[in-house]
Every structure is written in C-alpha cells, then in structure tokens.
Amino acid sequence: MAVRSRHSDGRSATGTDEPLASVPVIQARDLAKSYPEGPAVRGVDLTVPAGQTFGFLGPNGAGKTTTIAMLCTLTAPSAGRAWVAGHDVVADAHRVRRQIGLVFQDTTLDQGLTAWENLRFHARLHGVPAADARTRARDLLDLAGLSRRRDSLVGTFSGGMKRRLEIVRGLMHRPRVLFLDEPTIGLDPQTRAQIWHHLHELRRRERVTLFLTTHYLDEAEHCDRIAIIDDGRIIAEGTPAELKTVIGADRVELRSSDDRAAAAQLRDRFGLHATEGEGSLRVRVEDGAAFVPRMCAALTVAIRSVTVVRPSLDDVFFHYTGRTIRETDQGARR
C-alpha cells in the first residue's frame, strides 16, 4: 500500500483532494528498534483504519511497549518508518503529538491535585482554550462516571477510578488516536470490565481510534482487529474470529477412570489422537457439543467430567509459537 504524505492545505502528496480521514490513521513499514542488548522490534508492518479498536496482543517483553513508544514519538526507530494521522513520527513528531492521546502503564496523574485540576492542567499544556476546557472536562467526567468526584484529590481514588481519569485526560484535546499501554494491568476482573464499558462508550461518542497493548486474552476479544506479536515480530493479524479459524476445531477435555484406556478407545473408535495435560485427555473435533454424546456412548471407561472449549486466542498463539502466552510471561519473569 502506498503511503501518502500531506501538504499543509490538506491535499494529498499526489495532488488530489482526498480527505485525510480516508487515509489509514496508523501505518508502519518495516519498523524496528534495537538496543545495545539486542533488537526489541524486528520489522513491524501495521495498517490501522480510523475508528477501530486495534489490539496489540503478546506476552511481556514481546515488543508491544517499544512499538507504541515509536508510534507516539517517545523513541526514534532504528529502521523503517511510521505515520500517525498522516504525519511521519520522526519528521513531523510535533504534529503527531497534537493528534494523539496516551495512557501509560503506570499512572502519571498528579495525586495532589483534584480530578478537575488534572484535566485543566492537561488542557493548558495542549493549548485548549479555558472555556472549551471547562466544557470538555465536564462532559468527559460525566461520560466516565466521575462527575461526583471532580473536586476530590486523585490520591483518594481507587485504581479503576484513576484509570478512567487517565483515559479521560488523554481525550481532553480531542486526539484522533488514543494509545493505551496495558490499560487495565493490575486491576481486578470487575474493574477491568468497567474500564472496557467506558472505553466502548468513549470511542462511540468521541469517534476516536483506540490502539492498545495487552497480554490479557479476554481483553483482546474486545478489539475489532488484533496483531499478535512475539519476539519483536508480528506473527498473525486479523479479527478475533478470523484468527481463531486457524485452529478450526473445539478442544474436548476428558477426565476418566482410566485415561490410557480412554485414549486407546478414542483412537480406535474415532481415529482421534488424545494428548495428556493437567490430569485430563484432550482431543480436537469440529463440533465439540455434538461429539460429546457420541463419545460418552462409545467409551467403556467411567467418565468423570467432560469440558468443551472453543478455540481461544491463546490457542492461536500456541499454534504459531508452540507455547502459551502465560508460559511465555512466566519465562520472561525468571
């Protein structure tokens, strides 16, 4: 895909009057970053249309944060190029920064200021007129369910409330893209669900593109499109449903009184190869729900439990890498 730069009058470099909105809001070509200890990102290609929720899924140390840092102009690429909102992240870094909001992994709120003061301070840094900033802060706090705490010190907020305020702050100057680096890390499942509820509503109301990194598999399911990254390389990309078609079959997990005999009968009667794992047998079949009654009727060993698991994004990651994201994360921590 050809990348078109922009003139100051809004025309494309080809001389047409093509509106900026028709250009992908994020593009990267052979984007790479190396440090003295080795490469962190190895030739990433990305195309993100405006208005999507785009997820960067991968284990800790895969290159997610480094990629987002390059796209947000926080670190310069070692090779390749990237464009955000039509601007080169190196040559037009100041223009990129005016078009993006950013929520870091760790909180950057001023704990000694109120929610209202944090938002107004951010608006002043971005040159938002005072009257517009007041209206904007009021509307966003209401949308995030924080209006009643607008005059409370941020230091008294829960982790989930701080996260919502950081997301609101990132939208104060009306960016075209909001980057979120592990937006729900460290939060409990209920709070994570609340954050996603607010993200969906904010994207709908603000018409903003969301680009987020995560290693939570259930979180990635919220995305319109996902790129799975491992060891600095994108290994698969598509919608959650498209990615899971690679697996193409359900996983049936069986616990029995004699797993060796059950495995032999599954092989002899159904032509299935069963693998052992965590005290159970596992087989892959096209329609797990339909297969279970047939299996139970055919096996002569006592069946203690049967579970049917639909293909997951962790299965996709395992398909391409031979390990799960959880296993990779545990290895990175050692």
Q: Which domains does the chain have, with CATH numbers?
A: 20-238 (3.40.50.300), 244-328 (3.30.70)
**What percentage of the chain exceeds 70 in pLDDT?**
90
- DSSP classification of residue 180: E
**pLDDT higher than 90, residue 298:** yes
Quote the strand ranges of 66-171, DSSP E: 79-84, 87-88, 100-103
User: Which pLDDT value is given to residue 329?
Assistant: 59
User: Which pLDDT value is given to residue 18?
Assistant: 40
Rounded mean pLDDT, 111-116: 97
Q: Are strands 280-285 and 275-277 parallel, antiparallel or unpaired?
A: antiparallel
Residue 165: name the closest of 138, 144, 139, 181 by CA.
144
Rounded mean pLDDT, 74-96: 97
Rounded mean pLDDT, 23-48: 95
pTM of the model: 0.79
- DSSP classification of residue 96: H
**What percentage of the chain exceeds 90 in pLDDT?**
68
Q: Are strands 280-285 and 233-238 parallel, antiparallel or unpaired?
A: unpaired
